[in-house]
Chains A and B, each alone.
Chain A
Amino acid sequence: MSWGLDVLELDADADERAIKRAYAKRLRVTRPDDDPVAFQHLHQAYQAALDWVRAESTADDGLDHAWAEADGALEAMAFSAQQPTPGVGEYSPPRPPQGTPVLLRTQPPVEPDGGVDVPANAQRILCEARLSPADAFGPWLEATPILWSLRYKPLVGQALLDELVRTGDGVCAANMSLLVRCFGWDDVHDGVDPDRLEAIRTRTHRRWAVQSGDPTQINAALHREGSLQMAQATAERCLRYLSKPWHAGWALWRAVLPDHVTDANRMMDALEQNGFEQLPVSWDPRQVAFWRNLVDVSQINRWRCLLGMLRGILIGALAAMLPLPFTFMALLDGLDRDMSEYGLAAIGICTAFALIGVLWPLLRWSVRQLTLDHSHTRFGLLLTLPAPLMAIASLVLIHGLGQRVEGTLMIFPALALATARWWRRVGYRIDFRIRYAVFLMLAMFIAEAGAVLVLGYWLWELAQDRRSRAETVRR
Chain B
Amino acid sequence: MIVGIDLGTTHSLIGIHAAEGPRLFPNAHGELLTPSVVSLDNDTVLVGQPARDRLVSHPQLSVAHFKRWMGSDRETRLGNRTFRAEELSALVLRSLLADAEAALGHRVDEAVISVPAYFSDAQRKATRIAGELAGIRVERLINEPTAAALAYGLQQHDEESRILVLDLGGGTFDVSVLEIFDGVVEVHASAGDNYLGGEDFLQVLMQAFHAELGIAASDLSAAEQAQLLRRLEVFKRELSVQGQARRHLPLAGAERTWQLDEARYASLCEPLLQRMRTPIERAIRDARLKPDALDDIVLVGGAVRMPMISKLATRIFGRLPLRHIHPDEAIALGAAVAAGLKARDESLREVVLTDVCPYTLGTQVSRRDASGGERSGYFHPIIQRNTVVPVSREDRFYPLHEQQHAVRIDVFQGESPTVDRNIKLGELNVPLTHRGPLHERGVTTRFTYDINGLLQVEVTEDATGRRHELVLEQNPGLLTPEEIQQRLQALQALKIHPRDAQQNLAIIARAERLYEELIHQREPLQTWLAQFRHALEGQDTTLIDRQRRELAYALDALEAGE
B385 contacts A189, C-beta separation under 8 Å = yes
A191 contacts B266, C-beta separation under 8 Å = no
B292 contacts A24, C-beta separation under 8 Å = no
* Residues 27-58 of chain A, each 1 if its beta carbon lies under 8 Å from chain B, else 0: 11001110011011001000000000000000
Query: Which residue of the partner chain B has the closest CB to A102?
Result: B270
Chain B residues with CB below 8 A from A43, complex form = 354, 388
- A103-B311, A150-B291, A187-B415 in contact; A84/B282 too (CB < 8 A)? no
* Residues 150-171 of chain A, each 1 if its beta carbon lies under 8 Å from chain B, else 0: 1101100000000000000000
A148 contacts B315, C-beta separation under 8 Å = yes
In the complex, whether B492 has a CB less than 8 A from a CB of chain A is no
Q: How far is the CB of B207 from chain A (nearest CB, A)?
A: 13
- A36-B390, A101-B267, A104-B263 in contact; A70/B183 too (CB < 8 A)? no
Q: Which of these, A39, A97, A150, contacts B316 with CB under 8 Å?
A: A150
Q: How far is the CB of A25 from chain B (nearest CB, A)?
A: 8
Chain A residues with CB below 8 A from B378, complex form = 194
In the complex, whether B18 has a CB less than 8 A from a CB of chain A is no
In the complex, whether B258 has a CB less than 8 A from a CB of chain A is yes
A69 contacts B263, C-beta separation under 8 Å = no
In the complex, whether B243 has a CB less than 8 A from a CB of chain A is yes
Q: Which of these, B182, B308, B315, B392, contacts A36 with CB under 8 Å?
A: B392
Interface stretch, picked from B148-156, B317-325, B437-445, is: B317-325
In the complex, whether A96 has a CB less than 8 A from a CB of chain B is yes
Query: Which residue of the partner chain A has the closest CB to B386?
Result: A189
In chain B between 359 and 386, which residues have their CB closer than 8 angstroms to a CB of chain A? 360, 362, 367, 369, 378-379, 381, 384-385
In the complex, whether A74 has a CB less than 8 A from a CB of chain B is yes
B391 contacts A40, C-beta separation under 8 Å = yes
In the complex, whether B229 has a CB less than 8 A from a CB of chain A is no
A194 contacts B418, C-beta separation under 8 Å = yes
Cα separation A84 to B246 with both chains bound (whole Å): 10
In the complex, whether A66 has a CB less than 8 A from a CB of chain B is yes
Cα separation A151 to B391 with both chains bound (whole Å): 30
In chain A between 1 and 45, which residues have their CB closer than 8 angstroms to a CB of chain B? 17, 20-21, 23-25, 27-28, 31-33, 36-37, 39-40, 43
In the complex, whether A249 has a CB less than 8 A from a CB of chain B is no
Cα separation A67 to B314 with both chains bound (whole Å): 9
Cα separation A100 to B268 with both chains bound (whole Å): 11
In the complex, whether B257 has a CB less than 8 A from a CB of chain A is yes
Query: Which residue of the partner chain A has the closest CB to B160?
Result: A20
A101 contacts B270, C-beta separation under 8 Å = yes
Cα separation A195 to B273 with both chains bound (whole Å): 32
Cα separation A195 to B248 with both chains bound (whole Å): 57
Query: Which residue of the partner chain A has the closest CB to B293?
Result: A62
B384 contacts A90, C-beta separation under 8 Å = no
Q: How far is the CB of A62 from chain B (nearest CB, A)?
A: 6
B417 contacts A93, C-beta separation under 8 Å = no
In chain B between 367 and 425, which residues have their CB closer than 8 angstroms to a CB of chain A? 367, 369, 378-379, 381, 384-385, 388-392, 414-418
- A66-B319, A81-B262, A90-B257 in contact; A150/B354 too (CB < 8 A)? no
Q: How far is the CB of B166 from chain A (nearest CB, A)?
A: 14
Interface of B is mostly: mixed
A194 contacts B181, C-beta separation under 8 Å = no
A31 contacts B415, C-beta separation under 8 Å = no
Chain B residues with CB below 8 A from A20, complex form = 160, 181-182, 184
- A101-B266, A188-B360 in contact; A27/B311 too (CB < 8 A)? no
Q: How far is the CB of A374 from chain B (nearest CB, A)?
A: 37
Cα separation A325 to B417 with both chains bound (whole Å): 68
Q: Which of these, B212, B273, B417, contacts A194 with CB under 8 Å?
A: B417
Q: How far is the CB of B42 from chain A (nearest CB, A)?
A: 42
B417 contacts A188, C-beta separation under 8 Å = yes
Looking at chain B, what size class is its interface with the partner chain? Answer: 35 or more
Looking at chain A, what size class is its interface with the partner chain? Answer: 35 or more
A148 contacts B316, C-beta separation under 8 Å = yes
A193 contacts B417, C-beta separation under 8 Å = yes
In the complex, whether A465 has a CB less than 8 A from a CB of chain B is no
Chain A residues with CB below 8 A from B415, complex form = 187-189
Chain A residues with CB below 8 A from B232, complex form = none
Chain A residues with CB below 8 A from B286, complex form = 189
Query: Which residue of the partner chain A has the closest CB to B311?
Result: A103
Chain A residues with CB below 8 A from B292, complex form = 62, 64-66
Cα separation A337 to B267 with both chains bound (whole Å): 97
In the complex, whether A83 has a CB less than 8 A from a CB of chain B is yes
Chain B residues with CB below 8 A from A97, complex form = 267
A32 contacts B243, C-beta separation under 8 Å = no
Chain A residues with CB below 8 A from B311, complex form = 74, 77, 103-104
A81 contacts B160, C-beta separation under 8 Å = no
Cα separation A103 to B54 with both chains bound (whole Å): 38
Q: How far is the CB of A24 from chain B (nearest CB, A)?
A: 4
Q: How far is the CB of A415 from chain B (nearest CB, A)?
A: 43
Q: How far is the CB of A70 from chain B (nearest CB, A)?
A: 4
Cα separation A268 to B24 with both chains bound (whole Å): 72
Chain A residues with CB below 8 A from B316, complex form = 148, 150
* Residues 66-104 of chain A, each 1 if its beta carbon lies under 8 Å from chain B, else 0: 110110011001010111100000111110110011111
A81 contacts B451, C-beta separation under 8 Å = no
- A91-B257, A188-B379 in contact; A100/B267 too (CB < 8 A)? yes
Cα separation A77 to B362 with both chains bound (whole Å): 46
B184 contacts A27, C-beta separation under 8 Å = yes
Chain B residues with CB below 8 A from A37, complex form = 392
Cα separation A150 to B183 with both chains bound (whole Å): 29
In the complex, whether A259 has a CB less than 8 A from a CB of chain B is no
Cα separation A159 to B413 with both chains bound (whole Å): 30
B-side interface residues toward A, CB under 8 Å? 159-160, 181-184, 212-213, 243-244, 246, 256-264, 266-267, 270, 273-274, 278, 280-282, 284-286, 290-292, 307-308, 310-312, 314-320, 342, 349-350, 352, 354, 360, 362, 367, 369, 378-379, 381, 384-385, 388-392, 414-418, 450-451
Q: List 11 A-B contacts (CB under 8 A).
A: A28-B350, A36-B392, A36-B451, A64-B292, A70-B315, A101-B267, A148-B315, A153-B281, A184-B282, A187-B415, A188-B414
Given contacts A20-B160, A191-B417, 11 further A-B contacts (CB under 8 A): A33-B451, A67-B318, A70-B319, A84-B244, A93-B264, A103-B270, A103-B312, A184-B281, A186-B417, A189-B360, A189-B385
Q: Which 3 A-B pairs have the closest CB atoms?
A: A66-B318, A24-B182, A101-B267
A-side interface residues toward B, CB under 8 Å? 17, 20-21, 23-25, 27-28, 31-33, 36-37, 39-40, 43, 62, 64-67, 69-70, 73-74, 77, 79, 81-84, 90-94, 96-97, 100-104, 142, 148, 150-151, 153-154, 184, 186-191, 193-195
